[in-house]
């Protein structure tokens, strides 16, 4: 695997890329990322880099699903405390009158 991707690009125009295709590919193969600027516009750019450099970049970026998984695992770990287990075990065992009193107490506190 190569060294981390350099933040320095070799900029060339699309016309120059067409003329120097072979040389440009050699530069990329030797680890020099190339930025091709089409029509001289900033928003119209392409980047050439080695496949292993692309894989390294992708490995550095976590997917939204990985972030959600990490959040879920943290929540699950917090729910595994003895206090949380006791609260979960009591679900469904509270008498309706107790629930009614708690609801009234919360209504008075909020309102």
pLDDT of res. 111: 58
User: For 1-48, what is each residue's pLDDT tens digit?
Assistant: 444 444 588 899 999 999 999 999 999 999 899 999 988 777 788 999
Local confidence band at 110 (pLDDT 50, 70, 90 cut-offs): low
Domain edges within the chain: 10-60, 64-110
Mean pLDDT of all residues in the chain? 84
pLDDT at residue 106 tops 60: yes
* Alpha carbon distances (Å) from 29 to 25, 91, 103: 6, 63, 69
- Domain 10-60 sits in CATH at 3.40.1620.10
């Amino acid at each position: 695997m190569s060294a981390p991707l350099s933040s320095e690009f070799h900029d060339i125009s699309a016309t120059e890329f067409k003329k120097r295709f072979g040389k440009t590919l050699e530069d990329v193969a030797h680890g020099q990322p190339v930025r091709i600027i089409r029509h001289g516009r900033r928003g119209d750019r392409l980047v050439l880099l080695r496949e292993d450099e692309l894989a390294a970049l992708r490995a550095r970026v976590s997917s939204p699903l990985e972030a959600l998984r990490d959040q879920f695992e943290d929540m699950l770990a917090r729910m595994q405390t003895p206090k949380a287990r006791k609260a979960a075990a009591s679900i469904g065992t509270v008498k309706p009158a107790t629930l009614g009193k708690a609801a009234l107490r919360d209504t008075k506190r909020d309102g």
